[in-house]
């Protein structure tokens, strides 16, 4: 495995935070529509897990899939950030050509198989990607990111049963941010520690703090090794927190200021920055310069690309409903053949 | 040319497609060791093994979702759902995922799955085992919906469905699995689009799909004894509907009846007749008529069940009304 550059990881997380903040601003400017679910506060999970998934096989080798809070997972999986922002803008250059929007970022070229807006739906889709990996025997695995709220859907239980039974190479990553939309986990879920639910399905599982990326990477490394070995699924639970409301229409009034402030003391970016500064690998000035460079890149390149990209053509409204040029031998139509 | 039962024709299509492409798999409840409730996968478990003929737990939504996920990664799953009633549990993955993934990914991902399932009334199976539900799927953009009515179409359309890159809903009928018909010995594909004119006539057009095509053919025989020549159209595909074949027929016969086992509201007949009004209103010499099931849950009692579901006699009598003979 190649040595992981911690400064690069820090820069990525700074980039992800700024990407979400900037998309918030674009939403307020009415340049981004629909729903917008932001990931700020949870960066260490997607960044750390996908870093370890990619560590030995590279970007785009394995499959990743998630729910609607999906921008950062897509970018870390290898989708160009420009295209993700253009998708939020609904542009033709967007990762889903403007047809998907915030909740449906796709980039199959790097095996990022989508964000889905039905809570719990990605569980079986991820197991299906893993079934294909197992069948095709090329060493791939599937990684499924979902929040704690999704675990109360029937798909969680049905999929865990089949994934375990069939020893599918799938890594489930539960981002336990304590809230299912606006309902605190104590009020929605009978078992608070999510990893304990996997005992019922004979799937190995563990719970870890989710704000320190090095803790996330360490936990992910052994879980990935388990899955890649062919031993079947693994379930990782990370305790984390989202700083903003569930979506743009949610100010998060159900949470106390004290609670939010307490979690912000454990900010994943600050934890790693402080560690690098104390180790002498980074100076305060370098960190500030890093933040400024990221801001400049997002404002001058990412946003500019989204702003200047063309809208989809209305004439293309029905494009992508069915395959464009299907094989006439099996699509038809019948021509004078009778019954 | 061999005479095959509908279930044997489906089985042969499975066998040929599994042999043709190692990425083809079949999934469903009891389809492996047990060979399928309707014998459609009989013997294939022994031939292709448990990795390709997959017995699933009773978890329709998630095993359908697993098939969809696998198809996104290049597999060609044929997903069997034992009864269309149970397919309701899988509507989320079928309608919210399979039908939309190509579109919401801007054409970058696709779900080449086939979901096979029988509907219809068999023998007193009552409300929760007798649904048809064609309307749910034909009202969903991004799906193809086909309803073969003969062993030849069952065989050739299933082969086409497996090779199609769009999700295909393949509607069968519990009372049709033993229906026999000729199927060529050589490999044959039947297209997924286009209605078939299965009997030519000049006096009235009888339109059916799946089981109701057979009522139309029986009714046409009876009408012929009275010197009335009915043309019979088998829709074959409910999405898309072949409006051109219907228009050509009505311009010849000027009278039309649509026969279906589904309930009438928001159904296949409503859609077909709306198309007829739009396409060939001035060719009509009589008002179009629907023969359809009663708008009730299908009852258990035999007489009530019979009263709820139409048959060939109802088609015959309604045809006489359209023709002004009664």
> Running DSSP on this structure, what letter comes out for residue B311?
-
At residue A305, the pLDDT reads 98
At residue A225, the pLDDT reads 98
Place of tokens 């060791």: B33
B140 and chain A in contact, CB less than 8 A = no
**Chain A CB contacts of B59 below 8 Å:** 158, 161-162
At residue A332, the pLDDT reads 80
B60 assigned to active site: yes
pTM reported for the whole predicted model:
0.96
Place of tokens 């990762």: A95
At residue A339, the pLDDT reads 44
For chain A, domain boundaries: 6-311
**Chain A CB contacts of B237 below 8 Å:** 332
Asked if the bond preceding A158 is cis, omega within 30° of 0, the reply is no
Q: What is the pLDDT along chain B (326 residues), one digit of tens a residue?
A: 899 999 999 999 999 999 999 999 999 999 999 999 999 999 999 999 999 999 999 999 999 999 999 999 999 999 999 999 999 999 999 999 999 999 999 999 999 999 999 999 998 999 999 999 999 999 999 999 999 999 999 999 999 999 999 999 999 999 999 999 999 999 999 999 999 999 999 999 999 999 999 999 999 999 999 999 999 999 999 999 999 999 999 999 999 999 999 999 999 999 999 999 999 999 999 999 999 999 999 999 999 999 999 999 999 999 999 999 98
For chain B, residues classed under CATH 3.40.50.920 are 196-322
Find, in chain B, the residue whose alpha carbon is nearest to that of A133.
Answer: B73
Contacts 24+ apart (CB under 8 A), A292-299: A294/A11, A294/A14, A294/A15, A294/A18, A295/A18, A297/A15, A298/A15, A298/A18, A298/A19, A298/A22, A298/A81, A299/A22
In the predicted structure, residue A312 carries a pLDDT above the cut 80: yes
Cβ-Cβ contacts under 8 Å for B304 (sequence gap 6 or more): none
> What is the assigned CATH class of domain B196-322?
alpha beta
B129 assigned to active site: yes
Q: Specify the CATH superfamily of domain B2-183.
A: Thiamin diphosphate (ThDP)-binding fold, Pyr/PP domains (3.40.50.970)
Beta-sheet pairing, A170-176 with A234-239 = parallel
Touching A: B residues 195-234, CB under 8 Å:
195-199, 213, 234
The count of C-alpha atoms lying within 13 angstroms of the C-alpha of A17, restricted to the half-sphere facing its C-beta, is 21
Domain A6-311 CATH assignment equals 3.40.50.970: yes
Cα A41 from Cα B115, distance rounded (Å): 41
Beta-sheet pairing, B180-183 with B2-5 = antiparallel
A332 and chain B in contact, CB less than 8 A = yes
Q: State the average pLDDT for chain A.
A: 96
In the predicted structure, residue A337 carries a pLDDT above the cut 60: no
Touching B: A residues 131-160, CB under 8 Å:
131-133, 135-136, 142, 154-155, 158-159
Residue A147 CA to its chain's centroid (Å):
10
A86 and chain B in contact, CB less than 8 A = no
Label residue B30 left, alpha or beta by phi (over 0 means left) and psi (-120 to 50 means alpha). Answer: left
Q: Do A334 and B193 make contact, defined as CB atoms within 8 angstroms?
A: yes
Average pLDDT over residues A207-228: 98
Touching A: B residues 76-135, CB under 8 Å:
92-93, 96-97, 101-110
**Number of residue pairs across A and B with CB atoms under 8 Å?**
206
Cβ-Cβ contacts under 8 Å for B182 (sequence gap 6 or more): B1, B2, B3, B4, B151, B152
Cα B135 from Cα B95, distance rounded (Å): 12
Q: What is the pLDDT of residues A235-294, one digit of tens each?
A: 999 999 999 988 888 878 899 999 999 999 999 999 999 999 999 999 999 999 999 999
ipTM of the complex, rounded to two decimals: 0.96
Beta bridge partners of A180: A183
């Amino acid at each position: 495995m190649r040595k992981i550059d911690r400064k690069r990881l820090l820069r990525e997380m700074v980039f992800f935070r700024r990407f979400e903040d900037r998309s918030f601003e674009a939403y307020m400017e009415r340049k981004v529509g629909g729903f917008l679910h932001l990931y700020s506060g949870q960066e260490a999970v997607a960044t750390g897990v996908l870093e370890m998934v990619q560590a030995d096989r590279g970007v785009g080798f394995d499959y990743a899939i998630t729910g609607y809070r999906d921008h950062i997972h897509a970018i870390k999986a290898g989708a160009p950030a420009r295209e993700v922002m253009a998708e939020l803008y609904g542009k033709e250059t967007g990762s889903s050509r403007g047809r998907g929007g915030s909740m449906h970022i796709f980039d199959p070229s790097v095996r990022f198989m989508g964000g889905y807006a039905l809570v719990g739906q990605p569980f079986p889709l991820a197991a299906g990607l893993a079934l294909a990996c197992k069948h095709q025997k090329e060493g791939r695995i599937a990684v499924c990111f979902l929040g704690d709220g999704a675990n109360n859907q029937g798909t969680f239980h049905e999929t865990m049963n089949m994934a375990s039974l069939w020893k599918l190479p799938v890594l489930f990553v539960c981002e336990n941010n304590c809230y299912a939309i606006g309902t605190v986990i104590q009020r929605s879920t009978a078992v608070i520690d999510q990893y304990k639910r996997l005992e019922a399905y004979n799937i190995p599982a563990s719970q870890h703090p989710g704000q320190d990326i090095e803790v996330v990477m360490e936990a992910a490394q052994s879980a990935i090794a388990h899955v890649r070995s062919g031993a079947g699924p693994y379930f990782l639970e990370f305790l984390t927190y989202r700083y903003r409301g569930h979506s743009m229409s949610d100010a998060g009034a159900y949470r106390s200021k004290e609670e939010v402030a307490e979690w912000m003391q454990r900010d994943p970016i600050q934890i790693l920055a402080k560690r690098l500064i104390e180790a002498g690998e980074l100076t305060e000035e370098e960190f500030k310069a890093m933040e400024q460079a990221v801001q400049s890149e997002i404002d001058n390149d990412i946003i500019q690309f989204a702003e200047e990209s063309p809208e989809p053509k209305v004439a293309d409204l029905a494009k992508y409903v069915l395959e464009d040029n299907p094989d006439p031998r099996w699509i038809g139509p019948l021509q004078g053949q009778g019954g | 040319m061999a005479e095959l039962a509908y279930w044997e024709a489906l089985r042969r299509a499975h066998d040929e497609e599994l042999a043709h492409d190692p990425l083809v798999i079949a999934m469903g409840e009891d389809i492996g060791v047990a060979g399928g409730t309707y014998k459609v996968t009989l013997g294939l478990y022994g031939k292709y093994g448990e990795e390709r003929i997959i017995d699933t737990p009773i978890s329709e939504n998630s095993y359908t979702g697993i098939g969809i996920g696998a198809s996104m990664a290049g597999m060609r799953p044929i997903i069997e759902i034992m009864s269309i009633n149970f397919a309701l549990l899988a509507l989320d993955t079928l309608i919210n995922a399979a039908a939309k993934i190509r579109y919401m990914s801007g054409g970058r991902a696709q779900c080449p799955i086939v979901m096979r399932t029988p509907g219809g009334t068999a023998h007193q199976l009552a409300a929760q085992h007798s649904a048809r539900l064609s309307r749910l799927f034909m009202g969903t953009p991004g799906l193809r919906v086909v309803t073969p009515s003969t062993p030849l179409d069952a065989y050739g359309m299933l082969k086409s469905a497996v090779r199609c890159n769009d999700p295909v809903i393949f509607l069968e009928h519990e009372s049709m699995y033993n229906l026999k018909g000729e199927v060529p010995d050589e490999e044959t594909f039947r297209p997924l689009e286009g209605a078939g004119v299965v009997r030519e006539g000049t006096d009235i057009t009888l339109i059916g799909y799946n089981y109701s095509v057979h009522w139309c053919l029986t009714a046409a025989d009876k009408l012929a004894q009275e010197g009335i020549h009915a043309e019979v159209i088998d829709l074959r595909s409910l999405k898309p509907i072949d409006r051109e074949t219907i228009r050509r027929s009505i311009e010849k016969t000027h009278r039309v009846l649509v026969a279906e086992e589904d309930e009438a509201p928001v159904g296949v007949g409503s859609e077909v007749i709306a198309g007829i009004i739009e396409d060939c209103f001035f060719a009509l010499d009589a008002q179009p008529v629907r023969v359809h099931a009663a708008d009730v849950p299908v009852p258990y009692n035999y007489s009530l069940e019979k009263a709820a579901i139409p048959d060939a006699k109802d088609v015959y009598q309604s045809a006489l009304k359209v023709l002004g003979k009664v």
